[in-house]
């Protein structure tokens, strides 16, 4: 039987059977508890994986199936604990989720203020994984989005605004038929948003994490089926809720790929000399002239060069000192 992994906890995997993920909603989905078969070796299984199951796939209490095959992943969203690949943390690569279509970057407009450095990191990771990004700005009742959107104006980055009482129709339309991963710092309102999107989310998380001792998996990603939209017959999609992420290390992203996380700067490198590293020390780097000509925001170039320096082991390579929102200058502080 083919299945879709929706939760992972201490060597046990919760799956829904293929076909079922397009049927019953939320906590009512029949789930199958499985373990990895020995023949998989050290190959990891993560939320979002499409797998093949054998054994007892009834989903009955106490039933246990085995995962014997992992389908080829069409996308893999990764992060590291550090930007510098020469450190132990930089070599420790974590797969956040597999087979996601969209990365929803949840950022508050105030309390806490937006941290564009973190958003930039998420964009780099999304582009590297070939996952479409979506910026979800919460607490729009406390501050306007103009400065944040102005910072990303050259990217034409899709976005949605949310207030505590706002209608979620625009967001639901962008989530429909997709597997979307939600990431964000603690305090930005991601959990509130998840509970509004999936009113039964707390019970659903309790069901899919009822593995072993039934511990609530607050530190693990979990896939939640979106409820159907009344009067709409299309697939409502899935959201994968992740725990609050303090840093998004990019040691797994090459220096060349890092630039593609800043598409507004790419054309500015055309006039760079061969093997230009694009750092501030490169006197002939074409990016300085590109920004001086008003073709890109200087803060974007500064953010890109911070990431380059971090990859080289300079500065804070854990990504925990990224700049705050554009309206707060270039002050730095903890991400949380």
Annotated binding site for GTP: 138-141, 184-192
| C-alpha closest to that of 35 among 14, 62, 4, 61 | 14
Annotated binding site for Zn(2+): 272, 276, 278, 285
Neighbours of 329 (CB within 10 A): 10
Q: Which residues pair with 103 in a beta bridge?
A: 133, 181
> How far, CA to CA in Å, does 254 sit from each of 63, 69, 196, 223?
44, 30, 37, 29
Residue whose token pair is 């930089």: 90
- The vertex-154 CA angle with 148 and 160, nearest 5°, equals 45
| CA–CA separation, 295 and 188 (whole Å) | 31
CB 117 within 8 A of CB 306: yes
Annotated binding site: 138-141, 184-192, 272, 276, 278, 285
| CB within 8 Å of 193: residues ≥ 6 apart | 106, 136, 138, 162, 182
């Amino acid at each position: 039987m083919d299945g879709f992994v929706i939760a992972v906890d201490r060597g046990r995997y919760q799956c829904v059977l293929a076909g079922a993920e397009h049927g019953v909603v939320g906590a009512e989905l029949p789930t199958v508890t499985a373990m990895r078969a020995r023949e998989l070796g050290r190959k990891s299984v993560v939320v979002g994986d499409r797998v093949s199951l054998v054994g007892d796939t009834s989903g009955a209490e106490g039933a246990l199936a085995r995962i014997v095959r992992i389908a080829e992943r069409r996308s893999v969203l990764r992060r590291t604990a550090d930007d510098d690949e020469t450190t132990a943390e930089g070599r420790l690569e974590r797969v956040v989720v597999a087979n996601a279509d969209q990365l929803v970057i949840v950022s508050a407009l105030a309390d806490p203020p937006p941290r564009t450095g973190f958003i930039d990191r998420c964009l780099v990771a999304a582009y590297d994984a070939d996952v479409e990004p979506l910026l979800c700005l919460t607490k729009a009742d406390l501050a306007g989005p103009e400065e944040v959107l102005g910072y990303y104006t050259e990217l034409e980055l899709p976005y949605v605004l949310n207030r505590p009482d706002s209608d979620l129709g625009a967001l639901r339309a962008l989530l429909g038929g997709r597997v979307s991963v939600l990431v964000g710092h603690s305090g930005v309102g991601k959990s509130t948003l998840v509970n509004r999107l999936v009113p039964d989310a707390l019970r659903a998380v309790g069901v899919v994490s009822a593995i072993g001792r039934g511990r609530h998996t607050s530190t693990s990603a979990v896939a939640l089926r979106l409820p159907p939209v009344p009067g709409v017959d299309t697939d409502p999609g899935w959201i994968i809720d992740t725990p609050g992420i303090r840093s998004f290390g990019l040691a797994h992203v090459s220096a060349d790929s890092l630039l593609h996380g800043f598409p507004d700067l790419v054309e500015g490198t055309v006039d760079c000399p061969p093997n230009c590293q694009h750092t501030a020390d490169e006197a002939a780097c074409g990016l300085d002239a590109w920004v001086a000509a008003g073709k890109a925001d200087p803060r974007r170039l500064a953010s890109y060069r911070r990431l380059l320096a971090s990859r080289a082991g300079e500065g804070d390579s854990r990504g925990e000192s990224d700049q705050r929102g554009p309206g707060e200058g270039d002050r730095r502080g903890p991400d949380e």
